[in-house]
Amino acid sequence: MNYSKVNNIVGWICFLIATLTYVLTLEPSASFWDCGEFIASAFRMQVVHQPGAPLFLMIQRFFSIFAGGDLTRIAYWMNVGSAVSSGATILFLFWTITALAKKTIVKAGEELTTGKLISIMGAGAVGALAYTFSDSFWFSAVESEVYAQSSLFTAIVFWAILKWEAHADEPRADRWLLFIAYIMGLSIGIHLLNLLTIPALAFVYYFRRTEKATTGGIFKTLIVGILILAVIQYGIIQYLVSFGAYFDLFFVNTLGLGFGTGVLFFAILLIGALVWGIRYSIQHQKKLLNLGLLSAVLIIFGYASFSMIIIRAKADPNLNNSAPKDAFSFLSYLNREQYGDRPLLYGPNYNSERTGVAEGGKTIWRKGKDKYEVAGKKTDYEYNNNTLLPRMYSDDARHADFYKEWMHLDDSKNPNLVDNIGFLASYQIGYMYMRYFFWNFVGRQNDEQGQGSGFEGEWISGIKPIDSWLRGDQSHLPPSTVDNKAYNRFYFLPLIMGIIGALWHFKRNQKDAGVVGLLFFFTGIAIVLYLNQKPLEPRERDYAYVGSFYAFAIWIGLGTLALKEWVFKKVSPTAGAIGATVIGLLAAPVIMAEQGWDDHNRSTKLVPHDIALDYLQSCAPNAILFTYGDNDTYPLWYIQEVENVRPDIRIVNLSLFDTDWYINGLRQKQNESAPLPITMKPEQYVQGERDVMPYDDYKLAGNIELKNVVDLLLSNNDGDKVAMQDGSKSNFLPTKNLKITVDPQQVISTGTVPAADASKITTEMAWKFNKGYVTKGTLAMFDILAHNNWKRPIYFASTVPSDQYNGLDKYLYSEGLALRLLPLKADTTASDDKPEQLNTPVLYNNVMNKFKWGNMKTAKYLDPQSSDDTFIFTNIFSSLTSSLIKEGKIDEAKKVVDKYFAVMPTDKFFGIRTVVVKFYMAENLYKLGETARANDIFEKSGDYISKELNYLADISQSKGLTGSQNIQTGLYYLDRMIKTSKAAGQDKLSEKLQKTFNSLEGRLSIFFPQQGPQ
């Protein structure tokens, strides 16, 4: 049969297998993290966080058309877009592997035998399907994120360079190189991962165009490849825009012309230069120059997708991150200046001290009314104790503690180059890359996030002697591992296949193997070096390295050729090819699919969707809802912008509140939400104005009216400012003791508090501000609080860190997933164990009639973020039940309990902290006479604690890994269960729990002599 025909048919079969897999397991609505923002922005063509992904948004907008106008299906079809893109990645991976395999085992002019054809197709299928079912790639394939399309463009580019190589001697073969340039330009509008293939592509070009490779030539090719990468990354992506911005600065500020004239002139100049250069290269037969200039033009053409960002930013959509409307704001957007800098080659350690400010900092420009204005200078601090390759650089107290613990450093130690390289090798590469690599090709312990503890989120093989040697005694694995659907054991088989394939490839074709190795390095370790990752990330970051896993999958595929050649050499070529393919399929894709299906199957999970709905349903009409993180903001943006749920609510993200562009958006009408009551004028909070204002205690008596404080902070009178160290003057906060005078009648008339509760209303809300400075965002919040007059309900999402309440804690009442600001007389009871304040009637109605539960009880798989939400909801149920019992509403309390058992996964534990929330629910069950249910919770909790803590004792004895926080929590609540069950008359259960406690205390006292209840 014709090779090309077979190659196409088998490739498309792999595409169908992969795409069907992803469609069957994809999430039916928005996922957590960035997905909600991407879906909302793609649907309404809005501006996402820096540095943007305009082409991704446009492609996803196309897939939304298949929803046929059903707003609830938009997210599903965008997820299908990722599934199809991922399936196409597998198709191009298959063709890449077969091209490399054919090139290696079939010599020029040699006849292609049936055995070799089967071997080549088998290699392609094994490698492509192994990547199909790899953990990290599968994760991104079933949600609307950039990584699926980014992987597709990377696969196309690597496949295309092999196509060029195969046809390099034919006329017009360089069109493949121009195709690659255009695809790379387009890929910039999705993600920059694609650019990391450039060094590998350079070597393909070098090896094809040179008759004999030399050491010098190889070294020069590496340098050229890295230079081309740098030219695109910095020269085209950043400096083209930078030149345009500074041309505009000159034309506007010096020549007095309008905004944009300098950019237009620079564009004409650039186009003219490129046209002249291309004509020159043609006239003088400069082939390489012509190829380079045409490639640059095509990259710029592809890069032009970013024009969508500026066009849509000027339209002021609801989601308009950074509002990049002009040259300088667009430049800042592309440079990700919002996220700050990190040292790469030279800089401070975590304990280096600031010694001053570097002179000549970069001027920050902002667009004014008629000219560009100076918004300040970028502050570059000078430090002592600098070092080469600073990997331990963050001075955040949590990070500093982690560095010291991880590297066993004492407080007096100033880390040197050796220490930093040690951290790079052990943590950034060993833990934050190799751990992920092994997840994909060796096995995974569970889906709990690993933070370096040694007993969560680790890789694991399933071969207990090896796992015990590396991880500590694994003979009694705990429920958090064996009951976790991400407990995947591959027994090293995919890794072994890949290593065999790599060894065989280097033996048979060093040049191609080196190219794949270079791709593996630049999309893996090179990213580690460039990102210089800090510890304690909010989520696992394995998705950043999928390009590296892609390269390794090539070797997994080639491993089948090694098996045929080394293991099946004594049988017929056809039988050997079939046997090697079967073994390869069983050793990699089959076991990976069987083990990974259950923890990648999100088809029945609706937690992000429903929790977003519940956040909004927690709020009264026309509310202002303060959020903070990704997962309490992006799903809300999605459900409001796409499904049009509660368009009356204004979502205010406190993480963005310190920026002028975000405050500008809040001053506009959005959806059905009126502008927020912000009285500040734009010139009072523009970038560079009132960014941070100090607290200077003026010893003022009593609490000061918040309106007066806001007026002082906004005053332009020099007498209302304090002198700063640099000689400038700044507004300041003269006291932390603040108040808002309350008109009870106004509070009742706006429906904030029912008339029946008029006696509970305070006439003065007094509180103490909890920070030593006021940021622009805090000032904006003060402005809203001072001028809202209770016309709009104000809420904080329950996941907002308490320090962001700005001291208002005692006036916040839970109504579900949001805490409502209410002017009620504060509870002055001094108690460290003071219960959460609830607005019980509203919370009861929300829980019983409004909230949805994301299929938590029946979902085939709950990811870590969703399981965290079971913790939050269990706490809500428990708190509401407790409040109803205190109010004597026993029938309502029992209905809440029944609802809890109907909608929550009550038989599942998601870590030790699940025991905590279940304990409080069991306490309420005893009070309600639900003894059997309470006993069941305590029995299962006791058994869970016993298994978890015995496992920790095992690995403590064998490896010295303690997990002390889990041990303390487990013993503490086990002791409370003993006392609670005994008080409820459940002596038999209490005695059983006591035996468990005594056994655990005996084992753990060796390691934690001070732990455990007395």
SS (H, E, C) 288-330: HHHHHHHHHHHHHHHHHHHHHHHHHHHCCCCCECCCCCCHHHH
Q: Which residue has the tokens 């090798």?
A: 425
DSSP 8-state assignment for residue 252: I
In the predicted model, residues of the chain with pLDDT beneath 70 are 1, 359-360, 828-835, 961-963, 1006-1014
Q: How far is CA 14 from CA 92, 94, 559, 564, 953, in A?
A: 10, 8, 18, 21, 46
**Residue 964: both structure tokens together:** 């002390």
For position 616, what pLDDT does the model report? 96
Separation of alpha carbons 637 and 625, rounded Å: 12
- Which distant-in-sequence residues (6+ apart) come within 8 Å of 66 by Cβ? 77, 80
- Which distant-in-sequence residues (6+ apart) come within 8 Å of 280 by Cβ? 286, 289
DSSP 8-state assignment for residue 538: S
Q: Which of 11, 204, 2 is nearest to 95 (CA)?
A: 11
Q: At 373, which helix (H) or strand (E)?
A: strand 372-377
**Residue 541: both structure tokens together:** 């970051």
Q: Which of 139, 134, 121 is nearest to 4 (CA)?
A: 121
Separation of alpha carbons 46 and 641, rounded Å: 10
Number of residues that this document lists for the chain: 1014
Long-range contacts of 881-889 (CB under 8 A, 24+ apart): 881/921, 881/924, 881/928, 882/835, 882/920, 882/923, 882/924, 883/835, 883/838, 883/840, 883/843, 884/840, 884/844, 885/924, 885/927, 885/928, 887/840
Write down the mean pLDDT value for the chain: 93
Q: Which residue has the tokens 């082939």?
A: 287
For position 355, what pLDDT does the model report? 87
Separation of alpha carbons 524 and 836, rounded Å: 46
Q: How many CB atoms lie within 10 A of CB 369?
A: 6
For position 961, what pLDDT does the model report? 67
For position 103, what pLDDT does the model report? 94
For position 963, what pLDDT does the model report? 65
Rg (CA), the chain: 31
Q: Is-contact 83 59, C-beta < 8 A?
A: no
What residue ranges in 592-681 does DSSP mark as E strands?
A: 624-627, 650-653
Q: Is-contact 643 652, C-beta < 8 A?
A: no
Q: Which residue has the tokens 């600073």?
A: 390
**Residue 16: both structure tokens together:** 């169908």
Helices (H) and strands (E) counted in the chain, each on its own, are: 40, 20
Separation of alpha carbons 349 and 505, rounded Å: 42
- Which distant-in-sequence residues (6+ apart) come within 8 Å of 105 by Cβ? 116, 119, 120, 508, 561
Separation of alpha carbons 914 and 864, rounded Å: 13
**Residue 83: both structure tokens together:** 């599934």
Q: Which of 710, 706, 673 is nearest to 690 (CA)?
A: 710
Q: What is the DSSP string of 814-873?
A: ESSSEEEE--BPP-----TTPPPPB-HHHHHHIIIII---TTTTT-S---HHHHHHHHHH
Q: Is-contact 157 194, C-beta < 8 A?
A: yes
What sections of 656-807 are H helices per DSSP?
Answer: 660-666, 682-685, 706-714, 744-749, 776-787
- Count Cα neighbours of 931 within 13 Å in the Cβ-side half-sphere: 10
Q: Is-contact 36 653, C-beta < 8 A?
A: no
Separation of alpha carbons 879 and 897, rounded Å: 11
This prediction has a pTM of 0.94
Q: Which of 369, 371, 237 is nearest to 309 (CA)?
A: 237
Q: How far is CA 767 from CA 399, 704, 738, 788, 810, in A?
A: 32, 10, 6, 18, 8
Q: Is-contact 903 614, C-beta < 8 A?
A: no
**Residue 192: both structure tokens together:** 């920059």
Q: Is-contact 264 254, C-beta < 8 A?
A: no
Q: Is-contact 981 989, C-beta < 8 A?
A: yes
Sort 70 into a burial class: Cβ within 10 Å, 0-12 / 13-18 / 19+: exposed
For position 125, what pLDDT does the model report? 98
Classified as helix, coil or strand, 755 is helix
Q: Is-contact 43 114, C-beta < 8 A?
A: no
